[in-house]
Chains A and B, each alone.
Chain A
Amino acid sequence: MNIRTYIIRRLLFVIPMLIGITLITFLISKFVPTNPIVIIIGEKSLDDPEIVAFVTQKWGLDLPLYKQYFFYIYNLLQGDLGVSFTTKRPVIKDLLDYFPATIELSATSIMYATSVGIPLGMITAYKSGKTIDHIVRLFSLILASMPPFWSGLVGLHLLCFTYDILPGPGRIDNLLNIQHSITGLYMIDTIIQGNFRGFFDVISHLILPSIILGSYITSLILRTTRSSVLEELNKGYVTAARGRGIPESRILCFHILRNAFIPILTVISLSFGKLMLGAIMTESVFAWPGIGCYAVAAAANLDYPAIMGITLLTAIIFIIISFIVDILYFIIDPRICKSNKCL
């Protein structure tokens, strides 16, 4: 099977998933114990019969449930997720505003987690059973048990409040605030605008939350790397490479790592769910204006359209990530499609 058929077959797989997740969010929003019109436009507009009639027609609220679902999908396809109660703006606009902050944070966290997890995993696999293996394992287990909302608070308390090493919560210093955000990613924005003081400020704000969020998934990556490298170490091609006199470091980095990379990639993509949980906690501690923070505020104010919008959006991102990862599998290891694992 070539890559094009693979991608098409995989894409066909995505459609039932999308139907499933929209069905679930639709049904959940139908279970809300309040008037569905209130959920879409809020209580104040209830007195205006014109608005009520418009909304009823637009969302098909007077029709049977299965027809309402088609209206729901139709509105979704046009990007209409309803209007947030708290911000009074379309949910989709809110999400687009809050999303870049989460991307920035999770990208740096994953970078931190992989750059710590993969090398440590390789080292512990090499030295398996030795003291350093045990120490790293113990350390990573403890790190994985830290509730990010708590370690974030402790970090803020020690590094920002008591010793003033790092700046406090937020994405950037108030004085350097970016007026016109282009991409929403402050690291890129400050570079484009030539604002290097701002750039370093953004980085210093990123350090602590990224480490806190990254540590939460590091041990997962570390353990997977360790077991997967350990498995490869005993294989014939490693012995053959050693016999040819290739330096050990080269064998490890080029021969073993590539073969051991599939499980690592899987774990990185699977850690998205955990990352989301961590992001919600980390963002609410660090007042990070991202999706997690928005979700918490929405849940606290019972802002149903916003909650449903976030839930749907993250599920779609989840599906896209697993789609991309499946294609990466194919690129890293073309054998995958010859075996039956591919779909």
Chain B
Amino acid sequence: MLNKYKLILHKPIFLIGFSIILSWIMIALFARVIAPYDPFEQNINNRLKPPSLSNFCGTDELGRDIFSRIIYGAQISLPMGFAIVVFSASIGCIIGALSGFFQGFFDEFAMRITDATLAFPPILLSLAISSILGLGLKSLFIAMTSVLWAEYARIMRGQVLSVKNQPFVEISSTLGFSKIYILIRHVIPNAINPIIIKATLEIGDVILTIAAMSFIGLGAVPPTPEWGAMTLMGRNKFYHWWMMTFPGLAILSVAIAFNFLGDELRDILER
């Protein structure tokens, strides 16, 4: 396993993706230093200006600097993408591990819910949930987490089912360790790999979905410098092409980076 991870460092596509993500993380961390303007500062005299040396990506209809807003946008999209994936993966892992390990009634019940959740196109279920919870990133977070956990639960359950019949689990149970201890110390560490691959692959998709939800008007509310919401602002302004082009390029670069990363990871780990 470790050798496989070492192998990855020699793949150019992986390195490109990795460095793009790393630089976005740096940008998000040091946004205050990098951004030339305050992302919320309005300047009516300077509205809808094309890209120039003072405003690299132009200004929007309220005279805000788009470049600075994109930089601050990284503080929203990236942490939210990570958080949604981590949260839904953890919930899915817990449910999947418990139902695979203990089986019985809980397993039946949990797996029927999982099946039903998976029967919906994810986007529509999250659309329904987030419209009920109201606008805003918080409800988008809840909506997406409550949809995405299901696949992790199913993968985890299958993994646990195959691991738990292996000799080392039986031995530790003969040695008298408690069931919970065995599950946490022996079963889960041996079952977690596919979850990690899937989670890495999913972050890019999730960031794209956050942007898409903001673009259709659910998710980030106006003053927030979210990339999808910024693209929406420039949607009908064909004479002011910079308004939608640059936020879109930001989304594109993040999505490309995660796709590069995930593709190489899958290539190597599934070999």
Contacts and interface: CB of A to CB of B under 8 A. Distances in A.
B122 A157 contact: no
Contacts of A23: 116
A152 to B, nearest CB: 10
A150 B112 CA distance: 37
A328 B115 CA distance: 22
A276 interface: yes
Contact of A153 (B217, B244, B255): B244
Interface in A284-325: 284-285, 295-296, 298-300, 302, 304, 307-308, 310-311, 314-315, 318-319
Given A277-B212, A311-B120, A315-B120, A146 B252 contact: yes
Contacts of A24: 116-117, 120, 125
Given A138-B13, A150-B248, A280 B115 contact: no
Given A141-B256, A296-B217, A314 B131 contact: no
A295 B241 CA distance: 27
A29 B245 CA distance: 38
A20 B113 contact: yes
Interface stretch (B58-66, B80-88, B164-172, B203-211): B203-211
A299 B135 CA distance: 10
A315 B119 contact: yes
A31 to B, nearest CB: 6
Interface residues of B, number: 45
B127 interface: yes
Contacts of A314: 120-121, 124
A157 B216 contact: no
Main SS at interface, chain B: helix
B231 interface: yes
Nearest to A281: B212
B152 interface: no
B231 A295 contact: no
B110 to A, nearest CB: 12
B256 A142 contact: yes
B259 interface: yes
B128 A149 contact: no
Contacts of B123: 273, 276-277, 280
A319 B119 contact: yes
B141 interface: no
B260 interface: yes
Interface string B237-271: 01001001100100110011011100100000000
A272 B251 contact: no
A310 B127 CA distance: 10
Contacts of B234: 153
Interface string A15-50: 011001101110011011100000000000000000
A16 B112 contact: yes
A153 B112 CA distance: 40
B94 interface: no
A144 B116 contact: no
B124 A311 contact: yes
Interface in B173-226: 204, 208-209, 211-212, 215-218
A149 B119 contact: no
A147 interface: yes
A145 interface: yes
Interface string A115-131: 00000000000000000
Contacts of A276: 121, 123-124
A32 B139 CA distance: 13
A277 B245 CA distance: 21
Contacts of A154: 244-245, 248
B105 to A, nearest CB: 16
B231 A150 contact: yes
Contact of B259 (A21, A141, A298): A141
A299 B216 contact: yes
B235 interface: yes
A161 interface: yes
B33 interface: no
B256 A21 contact: no
B129 interface: yes
Given A144-B259, A145-B204, A307 B131 contact: yes
Contacts of B121: 272-273, 276-277, 314-315, 318
B131 A302 contact: yes
Interface string A254-287: 0000000000000000001100110011001100
A153 B229 CA distance: 14
B211 A299 contact: no
Interface string A70-108: 000000000000000000000000000000000000000
Contact of B235 (A146, A153, A304, A318): A153
Nearest to B231: A150
Contacts of A28: 128-129, 132
Given A25-B128, A280-B123, 17 more contacts: A21-B120, A141-B260, A147-B248, A149-B228, A153-B248, A154-B245, A156-B238, A161-B238, A273-B122, A277-B122, A277-B209, A281-B215, A300-B217, A307-B128, A307-B131, A311-B120, A318-B121
Interface of A: 16-17, 20-21, 23-25, 28-29, 31-33, 137-138, 141-142, 144-151, 153-154, 156-157, 161, 272-273, 276-277, 280-281, 284-285, 295-296, 298-300, 302, 304, 307-308, 310-311, 314-315, 318-319
13 contacts: A17-B115, A17-B116, A20-B119, A141-B256, A145-B204, A148-B212, A151-B248, A161-B238, A299-B128, A304-B132, A311-B128, A318-B121, A319-B119
